[in-house]
Structure 1
Amino acid sequence: MMIEVKVNFGKSPPVATDDGLIIYTTAKRENNRANLDIIGQIADYYSIDTSRIRLVRGRTSRKKTFSVEIEE
């Protein structure tokens, strides 16, 4: 499943929208820390392991696309 994520700076829980998720992070953008924090939040939101999530598009953008493997 592909998920569109909009990233904002701040500290709030993830918010589901019609387009995907809005995720807030306080992690710095240096050394991929913000992306790793976002992946962790997606994993918590869907109750899955972080190894099931891949960043597909938007490594340096506020709008990102992730591939998420969810067991059915």
Structure 2
Amino acid sequence: MFKGVISLKSINVKVSHGKGEISEEDGFIRVYTMEPRENNRANIDVMKQISKYYGVPSTSIKIKSGQRSKNKIVEIDV
């Protein structure tokens, strides 16, 4: 990817899973988090994991849709 390009990714979140990890399957990203849904903690952890996975700051990641759903569209400004 080139600097400044915005990438949209479809992700599927698995909450309360044994360990936090990311895998790419079936054309989307699956993110496993141990954080609960309450107080937006799962979404915050998902954004942290994605930022680490892609090597971008967490401020470059925005949830465009699916804030309260396990299926999300995430925008990554790289």
Provide the TM-score with structure 1 as the length reference.
Answer: 0.90
Q: Which moved more, 1:13-22 or 1:28-37?
A: 13-22
Q: Which has the larger radius of gyration?
A: 2
Gaps of at least 5 residues in structure 2 are 1-6
Aligned with 2:13 (options 7, 26, 30): 7
Provide the TM-score with structure 2 as the length reference.
Answer: 0.84
- Encode CA deviations 1:1-60: one digit per residue, 9 max, x unaligned: 101010113114200124221000010111110000000000010011000000000011
Bigger strand share: 2
User: Over aligned residue pairs, what C-alpha RMSD do you find?
Assistant: 1.1
Identity of aligned residues (%): 30
Task: List 4+ stretches of structure 1 deviating above 4 A.
Answer: none
- Length, aligned pairs only: 70
